[in-house]
Amino acid sequence: MTIAAEQEMPRSKRRSSLIRSPQFSSLVILIVLLAVFGIADANFLSPLNISNMMAFLPELGIIALGMTLLLTAGEFDLSVGAVFGLAPVVVMLLVQNGGFDIGIALLAGLLLCIAIGAVNGLIVTKIGISSFLVTLSMLLVVRGAALYITQGFPLKSWDQPGFFVTLLAGSFNIGTFRFYTSLWWFISLSLLAIYVLHYAKLGNWISAIGSNRNAAVARGVPADAVKIWLFILTSVLAGLAGMISAFRISAASPVAGTGYELEVIAMVVVGGTALTGGRGTILGTIVGALMLRSIRNGIVLIGVPGLAYNIFVGVIILAMLILHALLQKNAARS
Amino acid sequence: MEVLRLQNLQKSFGSVRALKNASFALNEGEVVALLGDNGAGKSTLIKAISGVFSVDRGDIYVRGQKVSIRSTRDAMDLGIETIHQDTSLAPDLSIARNLFLGREPVNLKWLGVFAPLDLAKLRDAAAALLKRVGISKKLDADALVSTLSGGERQSIAISRAMQFAAKVIILDEPTNNLGVEETHGVLRFVKEVRSAGHSVLLITHNIHHVFQVADRIIVMRRGEIVAEQTVADTDLLTVESIITGADMSALLKETRAK
């Protein structure tokens, strides 16, 4: 073998491993979907529609970032949708009925999210109950609390312009596109998550814990603490997304975010993160979030009856997962 | 020179006395095999040394210094590395990332757990290590551990222990589930570890392997050390009979007489 050939090998190997990676296949499918929707309905790629999608995208996307890290560490959180609903409701109640300053109310909301995440994490790690059961119960507790304290009625949200509204739900125009500040939140949090998972020491720990917890613990990695902090992070991100949504539509509903937990998990696994832990990709999650958002939007645009569209969403998710499984099998064989 | 000494270790789980009164010493550059049937107390003993739990009574000395081992981290800091079968590596991580798991080289150390990995150093150190330990097949430091065979995984785990200049390497059933050739690879590797000056405590069910690599044999039964012999002074049958508690040589003589 010549030296040139030896140097050539790793590069082509790297290229083929990139092509075979789950986030790449998700990206290809996203592009195909965008093209199909774009051809089927010219309005799909119009500035108005893109602006619309970008307004919704960050709200679920932000939660999906936390969920990706949590899934990579081998746990998941079903209570995010309920926290998405409860956080703004509590903040608004404190402001409207308690007469608190909006800043203090937001701080209280943040502390509440931290507490919910910490309880999830402590029960999962210290008592050793599966996160499925713990966070399913937490979903009921949190959603129930939101319904009870509001008596089931939506609250008018904070609509006076000010620092916090601008920070979370301000909007700006770039050409004919109209974007919300939430998009900046999503982009910066994504970059941060990419850094943490793939380049920081903590990311190495998160992947190791999800891949083989005993091995990580045997190397002195504080697995329980890492998991607890990830539960807290996911809860806080769900609360943040809830606040962004409530500010944007100027209403805090106790049923907001119902079903979001499954949609978020779908985004994450469609992007290529393994439900069993150990393998996570933030880029894949961003692709997954874009994909689910454009499916929901595009399907309505091309005229699929509203009541039928979950069928399409479900079928497309299933197809993605089958594709990932086949690729995985293929990679294992070669 | 003595690297590790255990003195009168005792440990109970409820009413079960898993360790009754275990004492022994391990010398530098020595391979000691710890033998015993299931439930003899081998796992309890190594878990106590590797910091999985602490003992109820008794002392542990490392190089003559009395130490207390409360966590796996404590044990690692004292130079005691334990390699459990199948639980030592994270399959979804690369070889390089596994080698430095928990001791990652980083830049900007003040960032704590958020510090960026020194990827160049990680890869170079891993490549150098793989070369030094002379694993027969050429391995790529970036390859995922899930793509390796059982024997390769054991070798990686053992080289990781050597990398951190461990004084004592505890191998828990290192040849379980391995093929014949891989088993020989691992045993050869154990000898290399010894010649590099590390001490090895080898836990195994396979007495044949013991006679191939060990210098000394310690046999446990019902939480106690019942025999301690150098390999040169004993033979397979004697050891087997000590493990089971039955006098196998007498049995053998009987059958021969018939």
Dihedral sign computed on CA atoms, order B33, B39, B44, B45: negative
Instruction: Give per-residue pLDDT as tens, A25-69.
Output: 888 888 988 888 888 888 888 888 888 888 889 999 999 999 999
How many domains is chain B built from? 1
- CA distances to A214, A263, B37, B39, B41 from B13, in Å: 21, 46, 19, 13, 12
Considering B78-87, B90-99, B140-149, B164-173, the range whose residues carry the highest mean pLDDT is B90-99
Whether residue A278 and residue B92 make contact (CB cut-off 8 A), yes or no, is: yes
Nearest CA to CA, how far is B206 from chain A (Å)?
24
Mean pLDDT of B158-183: 80
Domain that holds residue B83: 2-87+165-257
Given CB atoms, is B93 within the 8 Å cutoff of chain A?
yes
Q: Is B106 on the interface with A (CB under 8 A)?
A: yes
B101 touches chain A (CB under 8 A): yes
Residues whose CB is less than 8 angstroms from the CB of residue B114 and which lie 6 or more positions away in sequence, other chains included: A196, A200, A201, A202
Question: For domain A26-328, which CATH number applies: 1.10.8, 1.10.287, 1.10.3470, 1.10.1660?
Answer: 1.10.3470
Determine, for residues B92 and A207 on separate chains, whether the beta-carbon distance falls below 8 Å: yes
Which long-range contacts link B49-56 to residues 24+ away (Cβ below 8 Å)? B49/B4, B49/B6, B49/B75, B49/B80, B49/B82, B49/B168, B49/B170, B49/B201, B50/A218, B50/B75, B50/B80, B50/B82, B50/B170, B51/B75, B51/B76, B51/B80, B53/B11, B55/B9, B55/B10, B55/B11, B55/B19, B56/B10, B56/B11, B56/B12
B70 reaches A (C-beta below 8 A): no
- Contact A212/B91 with Cβ under 8 angstroms? yes
Q: Is the minimum CB–CB distance between A201 and chain B shorter than 8 Å?
A: yes
Instruction: Look at residue A3 and tell me whether its pLDDT is greater than 60.
Output: no
Residue in A with minimal Cα distance to B50: A218
For A179-190, write each residue's pLDDT tens digit.
888 899 999 999
Considering the domain boundaries, does residue B110 fall inside one? Answer: no
Which residues does chain B have within 8 Å of residue A217's beta carbon, measured at their own beta carbons? 72
Structural domain contains residue B193: yes
Flag whether residue A22 sits within 8 Å of chain B, measured between CB atoms: no
- Of the candidates A265, A280, A274, A264, the residue with the CA atom closest to the CA atom of residue A325: A274
Interface test with B, best of A16, A195, A212 (most B CBs within 10 A): A212
Residue B241 lies in a domain: yes
Contact A200 B117 (CB under 8 A): yes
Question: Which of A306, A303, A290, A326 minimizes the C-alpha distance to A30?
Answer: A290
Chain B, window 133-152: residues with a beta carbon less than 8 angstroms from a chain A beta carbon: 146
Say which of A199, A218, A274 has its CB closest to residue B116.
A199
A109: region left, alpha or beta (phi > 0 left; psi from -120 to 50 alpha): alpha
Q: What average pLDDT does this structure show over A302-324?
A: 81
Residue type, B248: M
Return the CATH number at B77.
Answer: 3.40.50.300
Residue A11 has pLDDT above 60, yes or no: no
Considering the domain boundaries, does residue B129 fall inside one? no
Instruction: Tell whether A137 is within 8 A of chain B (Cβ).
Output: no
Cβ separation of A278 and B90 shorter than 8 Å? Answer: yes
Instruction: Determine the average pLDDT of the residues in B87-97.
Output: 87
The owner of tokens 């491993």 is: A17
Nearest C-alpha neighbor of B48 from the set B65, B23, B14:
B23
A22: distance to nearest CA of chain B, Å?
A: 14
d(CA B128, CA B91): 21
